[in-house]
Amino acid sequence: MNISPTTSAVNLINTAQHKAADSAQVIAKLPMQNGEVGSSEFNSNDIIKPVLSLKDAELETSAAVKLLEADKKTIGSLLDIKG
């Protein structure tokens, strides 16, 4: 089984995308009064966890991009050595 940095990065991006989608859905379902924040039903603690999850997804995506960039740079270096 060959696990390449590209495969790991793609898996990380997919995981982050699902995490972001789930968090966005939770945020969208929070109770609002006429589409406004400030509803008596709105509890600011309800939004903390999904917002942190969105930030986590952002960081995972950033890490995956850096992994892809490093892999591209490594492949470029290998081609330079062989060329």
pTM confidence score? 0.73
Distance CA 63, CA 66 (A): 5
**Per-residue pLDDT reduced to its tens digit, 26-81:** 988 887 655 555 556 666 778 899 999 999 999 999 999 999 999 888 887 766 66
Q: Which of 64, 54, 56, 58 is nearest to 10 (CA)?
A: 64
Domain locations in the chain as residue ranges: 5-82
Reduced to 3 DSSP states, what percent helix, strand and coil does the chain have, rounded to the nearest 5? 75, 0, 20
